[in-house]
Structure 1
Amino acid sequence: MLLTVLGCSGSAPGPNAPTSGYLLEAGGFLLGIELGTGTLAALQAIRDPFSLDALLFSHLHPDHCSDFAGLTVLRRYHSAPSRDPRVNPLPVYAPSEAPSRFTAAYSPDEADRLQTDLSDVYTFHPLSPGSVHIGPFEITVIRANHPPESYSFRISHGGRSFVYTGDTGLFDGLVDLASGVDVLLAEASWTHADDRPSGLHLSGKEAGELAKRSGAARLLVTHVPPWTEAEAVFAEARAEYPGDAVLVRQGASYPI
């Protein structure tokens, strides 16, 4: 498996820094994970957007999905798509409200929304805790500790494993999900402090603690907001986790 970072800015984009968006590729199958602000442009810079085989969303906050509306315009109106989107609707695995939320984002006018449900270019598959197969990937899905309907994922293929936390507070189920994982992609939205709100995000310290408690072989730290000192967050993670740790970079690829 190969992970490529389209964007990794947390909560909001920074200067030339898209928010959450990743590509996971194996066996010729290209899975998009999140499509936050600015990631559609980043995707087009390196890949044909019609080469996506499926999309997976952890939750529906804008920094994780706002470029879906732009993708819909591209899929409906591109004059020469490399893959006909109406013959090959893109599978979208997402929280249950995704069809109505994405339609509303694409068509703000209520009367127009009644005439479009996006099913001409997508097939929607609501997520729930359990297992799902997407292409060659076997994915374990659990509820994350984050205010809206949110999920964390363990993705396996060819004897290798990858966990993406999505946005979440730390809890025992997340440690279990990441047990013995080869690569852990963990959000870390702030430095640690007692007055941080619970059930929302991980601190750098908690991301490192998660990697250590789960026995992850490698930690990738992501989702640091542009107003937060990324190196300070990463230093907290390194202090807790003695293994291989990386602060991810936009445009970089990481083998799993």
Structure 2
Amino acid sequence: MTVRITVLGCSGSVSGPDSPASGYLLTAPDTPPLVIDFGGGVLGALQRYADPGDVTVLLSHLHADHCLDLPGLFVWRRYHPNPPPGKGLMYGPRDTWARLAAASSPEGGELDDFKDIFDIRHWTDGEPVRIGSLEVLPRSVSHPTESYGMRFTDPSGAVLVYSGDTGICGSVVELARDADVFLCEASWTHAPDNRPPDVHLSGTEAGQIAAKAGVGELLLTHIPPWTSREDVISEAKAEFDGPVRAVVCGESFDVRRAR
């Protein structure tokens, strides 16, 4: 069995007509199921593939489209007729507890102290952690809130990189260096004069990063319902001569060492 990523949701900024917002299930030998981001609709999609009570949650950042299905997971862990034993594990930015405690509050002005069901740990830029058989390296990327991309390496040396939400920055290029699979957001078509900098990538920029980093395969994600998938794909292909595709909800991809 190899490392496999299954797309639970890939719609950018909001949930779409055919997909939840951001969420990806990562499975690997001798490793608990990992869910990378947990946007609207992800909990329902996750139930097709894994027991939600078994998962470890890895959050790139705390914008709503990447985390706001987690209050539903809190209900699952607390009130399921057969609740999971012990606590789950969650990694995220420094304000993970405060932001999600407010989001899950049963009353205005209160906080839901969900430390009864999750052990919460914080990313440190450039400091790897080990989860099962995988090494996970978080790197701070360019986005208006504390945000991380992630590099996953298995014992064979196979590498998956997830950009998280980011603008162009050196850290995402270095994070993606020689990755076998690069799962990269591409929220806009390329028009630098009419969009804010340091928020998201265009298809052109995603392709440029993939080319600079020398990745094996580029998987585009986080495309909002109002952005043309075809245009984003065409932009990326014009910059990167390796395999390029835009993911869809329900797809799975194996990550194997190619070089």
Summarize deviations over 1:74-94 as a string: whole Å, max 9, x none: 11111123x32xxx2111000
Question: What value does the CA root-mean-square deviation take over the aligned residues?
Answer: 1.2
Mapping 1:213-232, distance limit 5 Å: 213-232=212-231
- The alignment partner of 1:128 has SS state of coil
Segment of structure 1 superposing worse, 212-221 or 135-144: 135-144
Counterpart CA distance in 1 for 2:62 and 2:136 is 19
**Amino acid in structure 2 at the alignment position of 1:119:** K
Offset of residue 194 of structure 1:
2.3
Offset of residue 109 of structure 1:
2.4
Counterpart CA distance in 1 for 2:174 and 2:136 is 14
Summarize deviations over 1:6-49 as a string: whole Å, max 9, x none: 00000001114101000111114211100100010001123221
**TM-score, normalising length: structure 2:** 0.93
Mapping 1:20-31, distance limit 5 Å: 20-29=22-31, 30-31=33-34
Summarize deviations over 1:86-134 as a string: whole Å, max 9, x none: xx21110000111111111111525642xx4111110000111121222
Asked if the contact 2:30/2:133 (under 8 Å) is kept, the reply is no
Counterpart CA distance in 1 for 2:121 and 2:34 is 14
Give the structure 2 partner of residue 156 of structure 1: 153
Counterpart CA distance in 2 for 1:237 and 1:62 is 27
Give the structure 2 partner of residue 2 of structure 1: 4
Q: Which runs of 4+ in 1 moved over 3 A?
A: none
Give the structure 2 partner of residue 66 of structure 1: 68
Which among 114, 118, 125 is matched to residue 122 of structure 1?
118
Counterpart CA distance in 2 for 1:108 and 1:127 is 28
Counterpart CA distance in 1 for 2:170 and 2:141 is 11
Offset of residue 199 of structure 1:
0.5
Structure 1: give runs of 5+ residues left out of the alignment. Answer: none
Counterpart CA distance in 1 for 2:70 and 2:132 is 21
Aligned length, in residue pairs: 249
Which among 49, 52, 63 is matched to residue 52 of structure 2?
49
Counterpart CA distance in 1 for 2:191 and 2:163 is 20
Counterpart CA distance in 1 for 2:216 and 2:17 is 32
**TM-score, normalising length: structure 1:** 0.94
Does residue 79 of structure 1 match 2:81? yes
Offset of residue 246 of structure 1:
1.5
Structure 2: give runs of 5+ residues left out of the alignment. Answer: none
